[in-house]
Amino acid sequence: MNYSFLIRKAEINDVKAIQAIINEAFNKYIKDAGIPGNVDALKETPEDIIKDINSKEVFVALVNNIPAGTIRVEIKHDKTALITRFGVMPEYQNNGIGRAIMNYVDKFLVSKHIEKVYLYTASKHKDLVRFYYSMGFYIDSTTKDKGYVRALMVKEYSK
């Protein structure tokens, strides 16, 4: 299959597409991980997304000019970063798009001299945990602060 693929910084006019990606990807995440109830990602408003575009690094992946994935990165003052709202539309999953987004973020974070990046994922979601391990993350700890077991995944960059 031939397609064009682009990852770029999100813009305000991407808000509707980002919200659609998050809604579809996180509804699948809840189902696949067996999470009871809802997750914060599904409660956010367009205003929340705009706030993140203005205060964090938000990227969108386009396949044939169609928004297919998104990720948010918050750079901290201690040379660490936190990844949130990473999602790929279900119909585009398992095609290397998530891996491409993570590789893009890796290069971005290295260029910013970040030493560690963190993210949370449902520890029962074996496919996602395996994906993050394949991208160089490891489980640092777990928490039940959101009503289900979440793994704090960490990736260290060489100094």
Q: What is the pLDDT of residues 30-87, one digit of tens each?
A: 999 999 888 999 999 999 999 999 999 999 999 999 999 999 999 999 999 999 999 9
Contact 17, 60 (CB under 8 A): yes
What is the DSSP annotation of the chain? ----EEEEE--GGGHHHHHHHHHHHHHHHHHHHT-SS--GGGG--HHHHHHHHHHSEEEEEEETTEEEEEEEEEE-TTSEEEEEEEEE-GGGTTSSHHHHHHHHHHHHHHHTT--EEEEEEETT-HHHHHHHHHTT-EEEEEE-TTSS-EEEEEEE---
Measured at the alpha carbon of residue 62, what is the angle toward residues 58 and 67, in degrees to the nearest 5?
A: 75
pLDDT category of residue 21 using cuts at 50, 70 and 90? very high
Average pLDDT over residues 128-148: 95
Average pLDDT over residues 112-118: 97
Q: What is the pLDDT of residues 92-108, one digit of tens each?
A: 999 999 999 999 999 99
Instruction: Kindly state whether residue 145 falls inside one of the protein's structural domains.
Output: no
Q: What is the pLDDT of residues 2-11, one digit of tens each?
A: 678 899 999 9
Instruction: Kindly state whether residue 129 falls inside one of the protein's structural domains.
Output: no
Q: What is the pTM of this model?
A: 0.94
pLDDT of residue 1: 55
Instruction: Kindly state whether residue 148 falls inside one of the protein's structural domains.
Output: no
**Is pLDDT at 159 greater than 80 in this prediction?**
no
Contact 24, 117 (CB under 8 A): no
CATH number for 69: 3.40.630.30
pLDDT of residue 85: 97
Rounded Cα distance between 16 and 28, Å, is 19
Q: What is the count of structural domains for the chain?
A: 1
Instruction: Kindly state whether residue 122 falls inside one of the protein's structural domains.
Output: no
Q: Which domain holds residue 108?
A: 5-117
